[in-house]
Amino acid sequence: MRIAPIAFALFQSTNVDAFGINNFAQWVPSSSETFRSKQSTVGASYHPGASSWRISRLYSDKTQSLADLEDEVEKRLDSQSVDQTLQHSLRAPTKLQQSSQSYSIQEETFKDEDQEAIDRQNTIRRLLDEDDAKWKEERKRKILGKYADAKSQEDIKKLNDEEQRKIDQENAIKAEVAQSAGVTFDFLEKEATEEEQSNFQPSNIKGKGQASSWFSDMDNALSDGSLLNDENADGPRVVNGKLISREETQGVRVGSAGGWTLEVFPGDFVVHRKYGIGRFDRTVIKAKRKLNKEEKDAQALRRNEIVKEMIRDGKNSEEIEAILAKFGSKEDKDPISNPMQAVLEVSYNDAKVHIPVDKAYRLSRYRAGDAVVKPRLSRVKGEAWNKAKRKVEEDTVQMAQDVLALYATRETLTRTPFEPSLEAEGRRFDETFPYEPTPDQQKCFEAVENDMVWRGRPMDRLVCGDVGFGKTEVALRALFRCVQNGRQAALLSPTGVLASQHMKTVMNRMGPESGFNMRIALLRGGMGKNTKAGRALREQIANGDVDLIVGTHALLSTGLKFKDLGLLVVDEEQRFGVKQKERLKLICNGIDVLTLSATPIPRTLQMSLSGIRDTSTIKSPPPMRKPTISTVHEFDKKMIRDALAREFERGGQCYYVVPRIAQLDEAESLMMELFPDVRLIQAHGRMARGGAEENVAEFAEGKYDVLLATTVIENGVDIPSVNTIIINNAQAFGMSTLYQLRGRVGRSNLQGYAYFMHKKDSITEQSAMRLQAMADLHELGSGFDVANRDLEIRGAGSLLGTEQSGMAAKVGFDLYMRMLKKSMRQLRGLDLPMVPRTNILLPGGEGSLEIGVGASNGAFNIPKKLISDEQERYQEEGKARLAESTNQLVEITNSWKNNYGPLPVTLQRKLKTLHLHACTRTLGIDLVGFVENGDGTSDCVLRSPGLRPRHWINISASLSKKLPTKSLDAVFPARFAKSTEDIVMTGGEAISLELFDSKPSGDDEEEWDALDEEEVEAMKEISSAMFVENLDEIEIDEYPRFVVRNMNKAKKGSRVDILLKLLLPASKVVYQKQLADKEKAKVAADLREKRELMKKQKKEQSAMAARRF
């Protein structure tokens, strides 16, 4: 082994591991950074074929000696014949002779050897510098790609513009191809995360507690000298040593007129119904291979035309053959000869699959309730995915049985419905609303009215709407209706601040000075049953001396008794805990419940999505509202100072929110440090009674600049002058709280700003995902999307007392819910949607139950002579008006005869109208009216948006003659049949099944997709039926409908009898089938519950026997 003499003494006197290679490098001069690692031994290894020396950290081999390093270097020197004489010049030094002559000779020899060693080291340094330069160039080109040769910012801009044009051209082609397939196709730009905000990010390859590696040093050097480091450059991003172009981060939003949408970014996990869980990579344009007959014919015709054109142009046979060879290749640019399609490229465990955009509805984002755990990619080959789906399908069948059994149980619950004749007074209250209701608000008003007035079972509806979108007005109209009907109503709020805000609103709209003169009281913390004020108020509530009670958790106390509670409105349901909700179940038994939430908790959201809970959504924003600009950033004093300064400059105020009361003093010190003259005030839950509300009120009056608060301001604080909120330690808040806090600003026509400051060391994966969601979901009306994202992160938990999150994880939440809906539809058999009420528009108001202002001809009233007691009479009227079938009506009228005597003739005529409405609701008929034919005759048209050919075929087959009802035609638009014209199933005649596209298409999933689209479309139309005053206002020919020909010839007063006679047989069939389906599901659920109980008992007995043994 040979070692340079200059280094030998140091090497001989010092242990290599202790001394370190860095000190040795001082004696071996080199401009390379190769030898400057400070914490571990560095060696050099030669890679054949690359002709380069690559530096690598030797983590495992700590015993590598300097001699080995030298030997490796010398091998290369020897191979290149740098210095043939070095073989003998590096021998170990010998002991010096004591004689002067020998000393002189030896000194001369060492001088020569030292010079040779210096030359050798210079050669090593030069070779390593060359190698470094070469490797840096390779690394630079690998990372920067085409940007590596850029010499100026103009070069960067030119390359960017070129790439931008190319991407825009490809995107335009993709959008055009997608549009031709009937699909909307939008591109989304992904916002840079905090790690990607700089344009250049050097790689960071190092272990815990270790210094940066040579790769990191190299990337840092590239970063320092790269033109891409310019913050203003609109270029690509370099993340973890990889150049990420705009195209690689570009997401897509795919949708259709049918209502389905898919929004994904590269790297997102998705679920395909056929292939399983995959990862979306990119969008691609490729030739369409599977052509239908029309496309094949057009392709052949176009290619023949191209060949004929070439012949006419005098092309020779070789040129024609060359064109023929290009048919179907990339060079074939003709859109008919070589039709293209846009596809989504999805990676699986063993393959890449291209999904055409017009089939993208088969994809959904993977959501399983634990988004931190990344799913395992499915295998396209094999049966693993199908086995998983079959197992989940078994679970959804059981879940569907439980849901239908719950439906059957809920329908056994009854309460006296609210009186429709009092709705005229409700219209007068509606007029006091100072704003024009949004379309979504109008639908909510109608849905709540239907639940309270036109249904016999208690209402249980969730109204989901963004902060400031008008949920409170929906609640106020429901509260007014309840009090107008002589019952008590309660409004439950999670905080005292919100309760005070509601109290002010209710007093202004319904209090003594409003003209409606309702008795309203506030019950809040500190008014316990042992206090004088609390005891007095409880007595008033129990005696019925208070009509409307606004309160906090005190409304849930066990000592509170209501005289006749008819409605409970729960605001911000997600803020109540498990114990409070258990208490709510006891209070709400048999009464109407209206729940308001901007971001419902995952379990509530899942119940609404599965249909267990009725849901209305308000997505349309009030006019002039702007989306709040949201910023997620690590705690930064400069950013806080700039945000507050901007707000102060425009004369506004600010919120500064912290998660804990103990952090308020620290926040106050920070404010005084940044703005010594700022006026501060605090609000938190441990202040003296009413202190938080008083401070908020003073802040609202403009006496202070900044409100330092905890989450007490999450709800109910509406101050238009406050348009900047800073939330410190945002990682400690839940997603719903973050969303509600952001909703405190931007409540006027001014731009709102929300800053989510977090501590880097305290971030977890779930908190990072919550903050990312706040950055992504910043548009108006995104509350439901925030709740969905929360569902994705946290999971739905338990539904109906059954834990199903494991099953949802197998296939993703969206596919799980779809399979659940499919199972429910299969169990229902005849899935014809019922309607809560029918709007009958026959001449003279015949058959109508609607109440007009100043008119009462449509109201169903029992004569006082028959039932004298007013309360009893109202109850019986409600039972009859909301009877679900004619059989129920017959039972009710028989009970009247037995209890009250013979029925008057006028009442018998009105009962026929009730029978007609029971039939129309069962058959899904929401509109009835006359349509003129143009020849002097008019047909009676009965619109049924949810009716489909399969329904009427099934119903007709169950009638006595196995034929459709005579004189009752069923008409279906052409889109439901294999025809270009409407298809008519004539009453009394056999149905020709060949006319309808009722046979399966070979793809069961396609059939269920069509059913989903039908259901969405039908419910939209049903919800808008009550606004129609004349059938001429709608395109009646676009809907499925029943038609009774020449109805205008019928005698006045006989039309109800005629319609009842025609609809009664079919309605009985539908009702009996639906009843049987529910009973079947209930029996199956009961049997399964008993089996589970028996298994549990057997297991407990076995355990007891084992203990005795």
Of the listed ranges 313-327, 607-621, 741-755, 863-877, the one predicted with least confidence:
607-621
Mean pLDDT of 690-716: 85
Residues near 114 by beta carbon (within 8 Å), at least 6 away in sequence? 5, 6
User: What are the beta bridge partners of residue 551?
Assistant: 492, 523
Of the listed ranges 215-229, 861-875, 876-890, the one predicted with least confidence:
215-229
Residues 255-283: pLDDT tens digits? Answer: 775 567 788 888 888 999 889 999 998 88
Of the listed ranges 81-85, 254-258, 869-873, 1088-1092, the one predicted with least confidence:
81-85
* Cβ proximity of 852 and 420 under 8 Å: no
The full DSSP string for 615-638 is: EEEE-PPPTT--PPEEEEEE--HH
Three-state secondary structure of 524-552: CCCCCCCCHHHHHHHHHHHHCCCCEEEEC
* Cβ proximity of 657 and 742 under 8 Å: no
Mean pLDDT of 508-522: 87
Of the listed ranges 85-99, 359-373, 527-541, 879-893, the one predicted with least confidence:
85-99
Asked whether residue 377 is assigned to any structural domain, the reply reads: no
Looking up residue 426, the CATH number of its domain turns out to be: 3.40.50.300
Please, is 639 exposed, middle or buried when counting C-beta atoms within 10 Å of its C-beta (0-12, 13-18, 19+)? middle
Asked if residue 198 and residue 126 are part of one domain, the reply reads no
Is a pLDDT exceeding 70 seen at residue 1106? Answer: yes
Per-residue pLDDT, 475: 92
Mean pLDDT of 91-112: 59
Asked if residue 298 and residue 263 are part of one domain, the reply reads yes
Mean pLDDT of 396-418: 76
Per-residue pLDDT, 104: 65
Mean pLDDT of 607-618: 71
Domain edge (last residue) among 111, 128, 146: 146
Asked whether residue 11 is assigned to any structural domain, the reply reads: yes
Is a pLDDT exceeding 90 seen at residue 479? Answer: yes
Dist CA 738 CA 599 (whole Å) = 10
The Cα-based distances of 1010 to 361, 817, 974, 1000, 1039 in angstroms read: 11, 16, 15, 11, 16
Helix spans in 849-960 (H)? 870-881, 886-900, 905-922, 949-957
* Cβ proximity of 229 and 200 under 8 Å: yes
Per-residue pLDDT, 535: 85
Is a pLDDT exceeding 70 seen at residue 790? Answer: no
Asked if residue 67 and residue 126 are part of one domain, the reply reads yes
Asked whether residue 415 is assigned to any structural domain, the reply reads: no
Is a pLDDT exceeding 90 seen at residue 483? Answer: yes
Half-sphere exposure of 663 toward its Cβ, with a 13 Å CA cutoff?
13
Mean pLDDT of 441-448: 88
With cut-offs at 50, 70 and 90, classify the pLDDT of residue 185: confident
Per-residue pLDDT, 78: 56
Q: Which tokens sit at 667?
A: 């926040």
Mean pLDDT of 863-892: 86
Is a pLDDT exceeding 80 seen at residue 595? Answer: yes
Is a pLDDT exceeding 80 seen at residue 1001? Answer: no
Domain edge (last residue) among 365, 400, 435: 365
Domain edge (last residue) among 618, 645, 672: 618
Per-residue pLDDT, 72: 60
Is a pLDDT exceeding 90 seen at residue 1062? Answer: yes
Residues 150-175: pLDDT tens digits? Answer: 777 777 777 777 877 887 778 888 88
Percentage of the chain exceeding pLDDT 70: 74
Asked if residue 166 and residue 94 are part of one domain, the reply reads no
With cut-offs at 50, 70 and 90, classify the pLDDT of residue 724: very high
Mean pLDDT of 682-701: 84
The Cα-based distances of 719 to 292, 470, 653, 711 in angstroms read: 61, 16, 9, 16
Asked whether residue 390 is assigned to any structural domain, the reply reads: no
Is a pLDDT exceeding 50 seen at residue 1031? Answer: yes
Dist CA 976 CA 970 (whole Å) = 12
pTM above 0.75, yes or no: no
Asked if residue 941 and residue 864 are part of one domain, the reply reads yes
Asked whether residue 1026 is assigned to any structural domain, the reply reads: yes
Which has the higher per-residue pLDDT, 1029 or 725?
A: 725
Q: Three-class SS of residue 492?
A: strand
Is a pLDDT exceeding 50 seen at residue 246? Answer: yes
Per-residue pLDDT, 17: 39
Per-residue pLDDT, 915: 92
Per-residue pLDDT, 1024: 59
Asked if residue 650 and residue 526 are part of one domain, the reply reads no
Give Cα 309 distance to the centre of its chain: 54
What is the tally of structural domains in the chain?
5
Dist CA 1087 CA 1081 (whole Å) = 10
Mean pLDDT of 290-311: 83
Asked whether residue 789 is assigned to any structural domain, the reply reads: no
Please provide the average confidence, as pLDDT, over all residues in the chain.
Answer: 76
Residues near 970 by beta carbon (within 8 Å), at least 6 away in sequence? 947, 952, 964, 984, 985, 987, 1040, 1041, 1042, 1043
Asked if residue 214 and residue 94 are part of one domain, the reply reads no
- Find the domain containing 656 and state its range: 629-779
Q: Which tokens sit at 124?
A: 């090593």
Of the listed ranges 292-301, 354-363, 481-490, 1022-1031, the one predicted with least confidence:
1022-1031
Of the listed ranges 132-141, 510-519, 547-556, the one predicted with least confidence:
132-141
Angle at which helices 439-453 and 1004-1023 pack, to 10 degrees?
A: 90
Per-residue pLDDT, 284: 85
Is a pLDDT exceeding 80 seen at residue 96? Answer: no
With cut-offs at 50, 70 and 90, classify the pLDDT of residue 1061: very high
Per-residue pLDDT, 61: 40
Per-residue pLDDT, 550: 92
Per-residue pLDDT, 45: 38
Mean pLDDT of 377-383: 90
Terminal alpha carbon distance of the chain: 77
* Cβ proximity of 953 and 993 under 8 Å: yes
Which has the higher per-residue pLDDT, 22 or 109?
A: 109
Asked if residue 470 and residue 438 are part of one domain, the reply reads yes
Dist CA 753 CA 766 (whole Å) = 24
Per-residue pLDDT, 812: 79
Asked whether residue 788 is assigned to any structural domain, the reply reads: no
Which has the higher per-residue pLDDT, 706 or 557?
A: 706
Percentage of the chain exceeding pLDDT 90: 11
Dist CA 613 CA 596 (whole Å) = 13
Is a pLDDT exceeding 80 seen at residue 504? Answer: yes
Asked if residue 180 and residue 118 are part of one domain, the reply reads no
With cut-offs at 50, 70 and 90, classify the pLDDT of residue 684: confident
Of the listed ranges 8-17, 62-71, 180-189, the one predicted with least confidence:
8-17
Mean pLDDT of 642-648: 91
Asked if residue 134 and residue 173 are part of one domain, the reply reads no
Per-residue pLDDT, 525: 72
Residues near 517 by beta carbon (within 8 Å), at least 6 away in sequence? 511
Per-residue pLDDT, 1086: 79
Asked if residue 104 and residue 83 are part of one domain, the reply reads yes
Asked if residue 913 and residue 936 are part of one domain, the reply reads yes
Looking up residue 1014, the CATH number of its domain turns out to be: 3.90.1150.50
With cut-offs at 50, 70 and 90, classify the pLDDT of residue 76: low
Asked whether residue 463 is assigned to any structural domain, the reply reads: yes
Characterize 882-918 residue by residue with b for buried, 16 or more Cβ atoms within 10 angstroms of its Cβ, and e for exposed. bbbbbebbeeebeebeeebeebeeebeebbebbbbbb
Residues 933-958: pLDDT tens digits? Answer: 888 889 999 999 888 888 898 899 88
